[in-house]
């Protein structure tokens, strides 16, 4: 049964929770199970003494500086924040409850009610932020990443918190796709929901409305000044640039509205769900509106999506791993009475990855409908679907 010889596998002397940082793509282990990697270091290593920095910085997969010093620096910072918050909140409380006992302390900031409130809220925020983060950081020290994950898993299996076995334990880290099966279709069984709601018009409409309102208020103030014989020239001067911004925001709204109203709704319906690699799938696509399309295409894509931190920013990167063109047509006329419709059967490729959702990484399958037209702007609408592994369905 245990055919392999004794293997000395991947010995690495790594601090707890920092395996990922130590592992670079160049050293990524290939798909080989009989191979052995051993890194056994003997002897004494002499390094130049360095002044310990109380912070560490992540550069891609590398960590600059001492990770332990970075953790100590974070702990010191949050402890200081907590203590400063406690001190500030105590000052506010003493000033409110027994002001005569601190009469010799200059508390100008707390002399007004508003100042005391602001100071108190800031202090309370510092206490909560510092305290909670300090406890969280302390809990992470001394436990390996596997142990933390196991504790989190154990907490998730508590009877009160855990969903039913059918929901979560059936296919871990595969999206359920219940939103898809809850929406019935007209031609086929399910109607797919679009990935992004058409909410862009609401933002531009709000901007145009608010800016125009502000300009009108300014205009009223200027006119009333002239009316009363006390003209405010500097406000009158502001009317011109404000009017220009107002015109720009209105034109922006009109562009968005044209895009919204000109390109009609796209309907995608599906015969069976979830999909399975190598399995058949019946699809119905309908594009409404009143315009001529230079080209329209429907593709099935599998996209890798990954989130990573770069400095203080969280960035997202996507890569289309699979692209299967379902329909591609040119010079299509779409009319309200005769929308462009297609009903077809497709087969999913064999040996492909199922849908997967992690905390920072995901693999998403979707049907993408895109079109180019004149004078309307181009459009691209995505309809997520869920693909299960073959044997599970």
> Which candidate, 251, 165, 176, 237, places its Cα nearest to that of 207?
251
Stretch that binds other proteins, among 20-28, 96-104, 215-223, 371-379 (CB under 8 A): 20-28
Using the rule CB under 8 A, which residue among 119, 190, 354, 373 binds other proteins?
354
* Residue 13 touches other proteins, criterion: CB under 8 A: yes
* Residue 348 touches other proteins, criterion: CB under 8 A: no
* Residue 322 touches other proteins, criterion: CB under 8 A: yes
> What distances in angstroms separate CA 122 from CA 56, 60, 105, 180, one per listed residue?
28, 35, 20, 44
> Which candidate, 339, 225, 329, 224, places its Cα nearest to that of 286?
339
> Can you tell me the distance from the alpha carbon of 205 to that of 59, in angstroms, rounded to the nearest whole number?
41
* Residue 363 touches other proteins, criterion: CB under 8 A: yes
> Can you tell me the distance from the alpha carbon of 353 to that of 363, in angstroms, rounded to the nearest whole number?
8
> Can you tell me the distance from the alpha carbon of 54 to that of 73, in angstroms, rounded to the nearest whole number?
5
Stretch that binds other proteins, among 17-25, 246-254, 258-266, 377-385 (CB under 8 A): 17-25
* Residue 113 touches other proteins, criterion: CB under 8 A: no
For other proteins, the closer CB: 31 or 197: 31
Q: CA 58, 59, 62, 63 torsion: positive or negative?
A: negative
Contacts of 11 (CB under 8 A, 6+ apart): 37, 38, 39, 40
* Residue 393 touches other proteins, criterion: CB under 8 A: no
* Residue 141 touches other proteins, criterion: CB under 8 A: no
Characterise 155 by phi-psi region: left (phi > 0), alpha (psi -120 to 50), beta (else): alpha
Using the rule CB under 8 A, which residue among 7, 98, 121, 244 binds other proteins?
7
Stretch that binds other proteins, among 19-27, 200-208, 224-232, 248-256 (CB under 8 A): 19-27
* Residue 20 touches other proteins, criterion: CB under 8 A: yes
* Residue 219 touches other proteins, criterion: CB under 8 A: no
**Interaction pattern, residues 282-321, with other proteins; x per rule: CB under 8 A:** ----------------------xxxxxx-------xxx-x
Q: CA 199, 200, 202, 207 torsion: positive or negative?
A: positive
For other proteins, the closer CB: 191 or 388: 388
């Amino acid at each position: 049964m245990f055919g392999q010889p004794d293997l000395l596998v991947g010995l690495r002397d790594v601090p707890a929770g920092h395996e990922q940082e130590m592992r670079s793509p160049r050293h990524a282990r290939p798909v080989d199970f009989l191979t052995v990697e051993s890194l056994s270091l003997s002897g004494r290593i002499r390094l130049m003494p360095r002044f310990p920095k109380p912070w560490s910085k992540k550069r891609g997969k590398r960590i600059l500086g001492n990770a332990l010093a970075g953790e100590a620096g974070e702990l010191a910072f949050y402890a200081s924040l907590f203590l400063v918050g406690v001190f500030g909140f105590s000052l506010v409380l003493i000033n409110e409850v027994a002001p005569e006992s601190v009469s010799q302390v200059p508390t100008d900031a707390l002399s007004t009610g508003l100042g005391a409130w602001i100071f108190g809220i800031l202090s309370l925020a510092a206490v909560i932020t510092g305290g909670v983060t300090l406890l969280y950081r302390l809990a992470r020290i001394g436990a390996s990443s596997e142990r933390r994950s196991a504790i989190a898993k154990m907490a998730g299996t508590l009877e009160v918190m855990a969903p039913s076995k059918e929901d979560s334990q059936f296919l871990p880290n595969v999206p359920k796709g219940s939103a898809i099966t809850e929406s019935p279709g007209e031609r086929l069984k399910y109607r797919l929901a679009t990935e992004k709601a058409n909410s862009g018009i609401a933002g531009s409409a709000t901007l145009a409305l608010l800016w125009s309102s502000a300009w009108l208020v300014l205009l009223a103030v200027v006119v009333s000044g002239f009316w009363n014989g006390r003209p405010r020239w500097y406000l009158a001067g502001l009317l011109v640039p404000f009017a220009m911004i107002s015109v720009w925001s209105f034109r922006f709204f009109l562009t968005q509205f044209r895009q919204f109203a000109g390109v009609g709704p796209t309907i995608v319906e599906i015969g069976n769900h979830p999909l399975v690699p190598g399995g058949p799938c019946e699809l119905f696509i309908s594009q409404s509106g009143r315009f001529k399309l230079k080209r329209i295409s429907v593709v099935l894509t599998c996209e890798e999506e990954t989130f990573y931190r770069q400095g203080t920013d969280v960035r997202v990167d996507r890569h289309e791993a699979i692209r299967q063109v379902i329909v591609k047509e040119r010079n299509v006329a779409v009319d309200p009475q005769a929308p462009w419709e297609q009903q077809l059967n497709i087969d999913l490729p064999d040996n492909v990855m199922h849908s997967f959702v992690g905390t920072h990484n995901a693999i998403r399958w979707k049907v993408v409908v895109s079109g180019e037209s004149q004078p309307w702007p181009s459009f691209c609408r995505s309809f997520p679907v869920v693909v299960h592994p073959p044997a599970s369905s």
